[in-house]
């Protein structure tokens, strides 16, 4: 199943939206690689790229939250750290095994669904807080 960015995920701060879209296109590549039966080396490579990109995205969000003194920063940081931990765990699993159905399931649940949920709840809440402050500048 192709992973597609949905307009309903657009939050209205373009730097954040563009990065989310890019993360979605990486999810799509990951899910295609799994469906095509690609090996662990290729899947791990995609996870490494995702990890690097997510690191940049999370640090950009962190900077925005600090700038606007967002009070939900601790929760955001916890979620971001967990996402990265999940990538690390999956990379570790893939170092000892070719991608199994179980690994594909974990990628779906702990990365893709996790991220969609994060954007819909925590990032949405954060943007609702910062948008009026940005408009005052």
Residues 111-130 interacting with Fe ion (rule: CB under 5 A): 123
- Nearest distance from C-beta of residue 9 to Fe ion, angstroms: 10
Could you please report the per-residue DSSP string of 9-25?
G--S-HHHHHHHHHHHH
- Nearest distance from C-beta of residue 131 to Fe ion, angstroms: 14
- Is there a contact between 22 and 5 (Cβ–Cβ < 8 Å)? no
CA distances (Å), origin 35, targets 3, 32, 59, 65, 124: 12, 5, 31, 37, 31
CA trace torsion 114, 117, 121, 127 (10° rounding): 80
Q: Report the residue closest to Fe ion, judged by CB.
A: 123
Site string for Fe ion, 49-88 (x = CB under 5 A): ------------x---------------------------
Cα(29)–Cα(52) distance, integer angstroms: 15
Q: Which is nearer to Fe ion, 81 or 97 (CB)?
A: 81
- Nearest distance from C-beta of residue 31 to Fe ion, angstroms: 19
- Nearest distance from C-beta of residue 93 to Fe ion, angstroms: 24
Q: Which is nearer to Fe ion, 34 or 127 (CB)?
A: 127
Q: What are phi and psi of 80, to 5 degrees?
A: -65, -40
Which residues contribute to the site for Fe ion (CB under 5 A)? Answer: 61, 123
């Amino acid at each position: 199943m192709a992973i597609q960015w949905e307009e309903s995920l657009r939050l209205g701060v373009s730097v954040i939206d563009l990065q989310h879209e890019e993360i979605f296109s990486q999810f799509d590549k990951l899910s295609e690689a799994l469906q095509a039966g690609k090996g662990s080396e290729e899947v791990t490579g995609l996870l490494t790229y995702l990890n690097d990109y997510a690191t940049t995205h999370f640090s950009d969000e962190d900077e925005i939250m600090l700038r606007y003194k967002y009070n939900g920063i601790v929760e955001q940081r916890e979620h971001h750290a967990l996402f990265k931990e999940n990538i690390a765990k999956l990379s570790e699993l893939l170092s000892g095994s070719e991608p199994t159905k179980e690994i594909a399931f974990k990628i779906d649940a702990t990365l893709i669904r996790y991220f969609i949920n994060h954007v819909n709840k925590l990032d949405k809440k954060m943007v609702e807080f910062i948008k009026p402050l940005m408009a005052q500048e």
